[in-house]
Amino acid sequence: MSERPEIPDDVVAGREPGGSVLRGQGAAVAAVALGGALGALARWGLSLAWPTPAGGFPTTTLLVNVVGCLLMGILVVHVAEVRTAHPLVRPFLGVGVLGGFTTFSTFAVDAQHLLAAGRLGPALGYLGATVVGSVGAAWLGLVLGRGTAGAR
């Protein structure tokens, strides 16, 4: 019985054996960082404009996450299905801007705060509304994106 030689992970990933994982990725990393900063600043601005009162329902975070998922659905269609976009558009807009804009870590902390305050109903409503709203918005974004792409 012959054994198959193990193929190094870097070769499987398309890099030269022993090559750096980040080699040639500087522009993508910069695009993600810049986009993430812009998205996070936009979210921060919205949280300043519409803050959640102590113990209140985190409406702004819910809307940010749902809108971010809607935009992600539209972006996926227009960048991946309809057009041939520059290779940095997806990392900048998808991972960076929308990744920095949406905030599922704050979603988890908000839910924990509602639970810790004994507000089980609002906590469960927030959890459900965020998950269903975000998935539904991503689906709607795909539908809207395809609808607008078909009109072109």
Which residues belong to the annotated binding site for Na(+)? 99, 102
Q: Which residues are annotated as a binding site?
A: 99, 102
CA dist., res. 11 & res. 33, Å (int): 27
DSSP string, the chain: -PPPPPPPHHHHTTPPTT--TTTT-HHHHHHHHHHHHHHHHHHHHHHHHSPPPTTS--HHHHHHHHHHHHHHHHHHIIIIII----TTHIIIIIIIIIHHH--HHHHHHHHHHHHHTT-HHHHHHHHHHHHHHHHHHHHHHHHHHHHHHHT-
